Amino acid sequence: MPLPDVAGREKILRVHARKIKIAPDVDWTTIARGTPGFSGAQLASMINEAALLSTRQGRPQVDMEVLEQAKDKVMMGAERRSMIITEKEKRVTAFHEAGHALVAWMTPGADPVHKVTIIPRGRALGLTMQLPLEEKYSQDRTSLFNTLCTLLGGRIAEEIVFDEITTGAGNDIERVSDIARRMVCEWGMSADIGPITFRPANPLQGQAGQIMSEETARAIDTEVNSLIRSAYDAAKNILLEQRPVLDAMAEALLERETITRKDIEEIVRLKRQ
């Protein structure tokens, strides 16, 4: 079952909203546009969450502000404000997230940054959230490459600022590896390998893998590596060139814990080289 598109989402939101009291300022079309990639179940759970938060916060009706909070919770998990985090780890997290956000911001065509936070949510110490401008059904090579850059931005920022790297980037690196491997082996996006797919054997799922020579395995490794190295260099260049923006963003995060698109716009305007 495919995800609902914007019209579908609006319809789903309105259905679930019938059960609760809604403030007059709520504009369902805006909310539908701001929730691309949400499933029907996620939309329903967002409305429920908004009703709960509204009650808990003593609001008479579900308004736009509480819907925004509910959306964040559905997208990023519950906040874990009680977690005690050392000053050092907070700083590392702030620069890590600022690294993601700054690379995304500076990459033409990347999905716009929606919000960046260093309040722990779920298993993460911080989060950078991007929201696409429009719904897309396929992705082009350039935007996949931009995703690689953005994912690597966190680790690189740690490296530049602290001359140290942490296990915290493990999940970013796994996603980078997965996307780069699919670009080469599934989507035919390496000129050297060409339009051909390769699938590792997975016996438990009845998949036999292809016959593959060591030479081909080496060519694939080389391409995947070179893709990741290019993204790494591109992201590093951005962060080195825009170091003042990076620092300002991290400081803003340490001060305010969460910054939004508008805050970033302001910082970039002031500090951009």
DSSP state at residue 193? T
Nearer to a second copy, 3 or 270 (CB): 3
Q: Which residues pair with 260 in a beta bridge?
A: 115
Q: Using CA atoms, how far apart are residues 201 and 212, in angstroms rounded to an integer?
A: 11
Among the listed residues 10, 65, 79, 97, the single catalytic one is 97
* Least separation in angstroms between CB 58 and a second copy: 26
The amino acid sitting at 229 is: R
CA dist list (Å): 24 to 6, 9, 12, 21: 21, 19, 19, 10
Say how many Å lie between the first and final Cα of the chain, rounded.
46
Question: Among residues 58 and 204, whose Cβ is nearest to a second copy?
Answer: 204
**If you search the block for the tokens 């059960």, which residue do you land on?**
19
Q: How far is the CB of 34 from a second copy (least distance, A)?
A: 15
Minimum CB distance to a second copy, residue 232 (Å): 6
**Residue number, 5 or 241, with CB nearest to a second copy:** 5
For tokens 């009703």, the residue is: 51
- Written as one string, the DSSP assignment of 114-129 is EEEE-S-BTTBS-EEE
87 is annotated as an active-site residue:
no
Could you tell me the strand order of the sheet in which 113-117 lies?
Answer: 127-130, 113-117, 258-260
Q: Of 52 and 173, which has the nearer Cβ to a second copy?
A: 173
Q: Which helix (H) or strand (E) holds 47?
A: helix 40-56
In angstroms, give the least distance from the CB of 224 to a second copy: 7
Closest to 35 (Cα-Cα) out of 61, 60, 16, 8: 8
Q: CB nearer to a second copy: give 24 or 208.
A: 208
Q: Give the nearest distance from C-beta 243 to a second copy in angstroms.
A: 20
What residues are annotated to the active site?
Answer: 97
